[in-house]
């Protein structure tokens, strides 16, 4: 088992959760299994009325923070976590998704090597409710893009199909002041 990382975290993993307590422990376990030890996880419970609070009580790792708020939607939950994030990079994981063990190390390593890049997204898998992979995201994505991806992103929402595969420099967020649009129900 990996030792708990001591020092400033490199990656803040943001997990909004609304009534997904039955999946949440698997998502957190996938963070605990990361090859990169320098992370913090910020779970924002967006007014769940299931067992989310009880699931969170099972985790005593100091790198995991739990925040409860009245239900305001996924964007508000992500924004709340963004405001609490303290790391160089911000990664997104939904409560019903999992990371492969090297996900945080691979994405943060790429951003470390490519200081001209502000956001990176990777491939991943679409799985069933038992986490059995059904297909890779690259099978349904239109292609790999580098540089200014605004036009392909607007024209084809499949460019970034899942937030679980996305990491951004915190400095890019603070420069733009970007937060998620609370008027959007998803995303």
CATH classification of the domain holding 66 = 3.90.550.10
| Least-confidence region, from 36-45, 61-70, 121-130 | 121-130
Residue 155: its pLDDT value, please?
55
Helix, coil or strand: residue 180 = coil
Mean pLDDT across 70-78: 91
Asked whether the CA dihedral 133, 139, 141, 145 is positive or negative, the reply is: positive
What pTM value is reported for the model? 0.82
Is residue 187 included in any domain, yes or no?
no
**Boundaries of domain holding 33:** 11-131+162-176
Is residue 140 included in any domain, yes or no?
no
Residue 133: its pLDDT value, please?
73
Q: What is the tally of structural domains in the chain?
A: 1
Mean pLDDT across 1-6: 44
| Least-confidence region, from 28-37, 44-53, 83-92, 166-175 | 166-175
Is residue 182 included in any domain, yes or no?
no
In 18-122, at which residue ranges do the beta strands (DSSP E only) sit?
Answer: 39-46, 64-69, 89-92, 119-121
Q: Are 14 and 78 in contact (CB under 8 A)?
A: yes
Is residue 38 included in any domain, yes or no?
yes
Residues 6+ apart with CB under 8 A from 62: 4
Helix, coil or strand: residue 165 = helix
Residue 75: its pLDDT value, please?
87
Residue 38: its pLDDT value, please?
93
């Amino acid at each position: 088992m990996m030792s708990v990382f001591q020092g400033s975290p490199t990656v803040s993993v943001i997990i909004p959760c609304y009534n997904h307590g039955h999946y949440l422990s698997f998502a957190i376990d996938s963070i605990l299994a990361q090859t990169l030890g320098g992370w913090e996880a910020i779970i924002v419970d967006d007014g769940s009325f299931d067992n989310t609070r009880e699931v969170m009580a099972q985790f005593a790792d100091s790198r995991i923070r739990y925040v409860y708020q009245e239900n305001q939607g996924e964007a508000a939950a992500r924004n709340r976590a963004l405001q609490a994030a303290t790391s160089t990079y911000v990664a997104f994981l939904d409560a019903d998704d999992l990371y492969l063990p090297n996900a945080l190390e691979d994405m943060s390593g790429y951003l470390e090597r490519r200081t001209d890049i502000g956001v990176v997204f990777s491939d991943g898998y679409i799985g069933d409710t038992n986490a059995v992979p059904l297909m890779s995201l690259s099978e349904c994505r239109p292609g790999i893009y580098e540089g200014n991806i605004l036009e392909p992103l607007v024209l084809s929402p499949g460019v970034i199909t899942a937030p679980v595969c996305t990491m951004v420099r915190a400095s890019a967020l603070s420069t733009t002041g970007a937060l998620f649009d609370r008027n959007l129900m998803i995303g």
